[in-house]
Chain A
Amino acid sequence: MEGSTEADADLFWRDLIVSQMDADRMDYLLRDSLHAGVNYGKYDWQRLVSTMRAVPPINENESPCLGVSYGGWHAAESLILARYFMFTQVYFHKTRVVFDHHLQSAVKEILENKPFPPPKEKTDLEKYFKYDDWYMLGLISTGKAGEHGERILKRNHFRAIKESSETPNSEELEKFCRYKDTLGELLATEERADKSWYKLEKANDIPVIKKELGRPTIKPLSKYSSIVAKIEPMRKIILYVNPKDRYKAKEKLKTLEKGN
């Protein structure tokens, strides 16, 4: 199931784990919406689940895949839109994104730049299990997670100095390279949606199966939904600086833009 040859012919079921309609993303959108206190991630999951279908292969050597019946395409559309809103409004919000950076750096500090103990032997396994949320948060709260742990505690996070559009074109990408060069050592971190665990892609379209005169026709969701067809891949870039360098950095970028 995890994408190895051990899955044998069960690869079809992988769609339930990794696809546009996998159980994980269908669950996390709703759960994250609830816990973040927003409504963006909500969609009609009951209708979506009841209209899910195994789409049969059309040609002899094709695989079946997971899709929805024609009656469920609006429910599938609502899932894609929920994902789009959660990406743009929550997952890739400038402040939430930078806390990933601080948390990663704090964990690195706790582990002294070493990886987690590999859970191979029993003693390693015990050490591995020790690193649970309580233990890590305890170390952060007692100031043992270095500079970034301190930033999390005091909410003194790096500040966004430049944000690109959701799908920057090549000119904008080059412009961001110039910003980075200009900022030099003032640049605290660069966060990019394409390097993020969260990715918003559209190419993996959901198949919609419709029965016409007894024969099934299969088309992608984007053929029915003009909104889904228009969603662009998320490639946002955000540049951050240390709060104490904010004004200096702004001045530098202002000078660069005047020069252009």
Chain B
Amino acid sequence: MSSLEPLWNRLGLIVKLVKKEPRLGRTALMKYLYFLKELHHVPLEYCFQLYAYGPFDSDVLYDLDYAESLKAVQSELQIYPMGGYGYKISKGPKADEITQKASKFLETYNAKIDQVISDFQGSTASELELIATIIYVDRELHQQTETVTIQDIIDKTHKIKPRYKENEIEAKTQEAMKKNLLSISKDKSSLH
């Protein structure tokens, strides 16, 4: 394996996600990569930790910066009328050149990329943040103890993200259960 291969694979994956979902935001990109690593075991060297907007690794932004400087993607700043801002990422003039360098990797994981996109397409950044946090909580609670209930996940997520209403968290947790995204077994899924 060339020493550049993991880099091309990561950048190629970013470009591929941007191509499949044009005008992707940064939060969505971060969460899609988290889902690919955590739910589909795509070998990515990212190490996600809980942050203000859910699971986060600054290396994703470092790679995004680099993909932008290689002209594989371009970020457009969006100033919202209510105040605040975000970015929309779209493919750049050298997008194909970068995906070409990662063609073997992208071919291997193409079905998983499609799966993540179909599972979460249309979700807002806030919904992705919530569902990624629920998955993160589920994984961490399972590392600490074997007896985790769905209520434990809801309670812990609500403590971390009090700005989400409890019924909103519950609905997303149930949705994640239905999609088999959580480690929690279905027999423990009933609420206390």
Residues of chain A having any CB pair with chain B under 8 Å: 2-5, 7-9, 11-12, 14-15, 18, 57-63, 65, 167, 169-170, 173-174, 177, 180, 190, 194, 199, 201-204, 207, 215-220, 222-223, 232-233, 235
Contacts and interface: CB of A to CB of B under 8 A. Distances in A.
A11 B137 CA distance: 14
23 contacts: A2-B49, A3-B49, A3-B50, A5-B160, A8-B159, A9-B159, A9-B161, A11-B50, A11-B160, A12-B52, A18-B51, A61-B129, A170-B97, A177-B3, A199-B58, A199-B62, A201-B62, A204-B61, A219-B79, A219-B85, A220-B77, A223-B77, A232-B65
Contacts of A169: 69-70
| Chain A interface, >50% SS class | mixed
Nearest to B48: A3
Contacts of A61: 126, 129-130, 163-164
A232 B68 CA distance: 9
Contacts of A223: 77, 79, 85
Contacts of B2: 177
A4 B140 contact: yes
In order of increasing CB-CB distance, the 5 nearest A-B pairs are: A3-B49, A58-B84, A203-B61, A233-B65, A61-B126
B112 interface: no
B62 A194 contact: yes
Contacts, number: 112
Interface in B14-31: 26
A59 B82 contact: yes
A201 B65 contact: yes
Contacts of B59: 199
Interface string B43-82: 0000001111100101101101110011000000101101
Given A5-B140, A177-B3, 14 more contacts: A5-B156, A12-B52, A18-B58, A57-B163, A58-B80, A58-B82, A59-B82, A61-B126, A167-B66, A170-B70, A203-B62, A219-B85, A220-B77, A223-B85
Contact of A204 (B58, B136, B160): B58
Contact of A217 (B3, B65, B83, B101): B83
B191 interface: no
B58 A15 contact: no
B111 interface: no
A145 to B, nearest CB: 27
Nearest to A1: B50
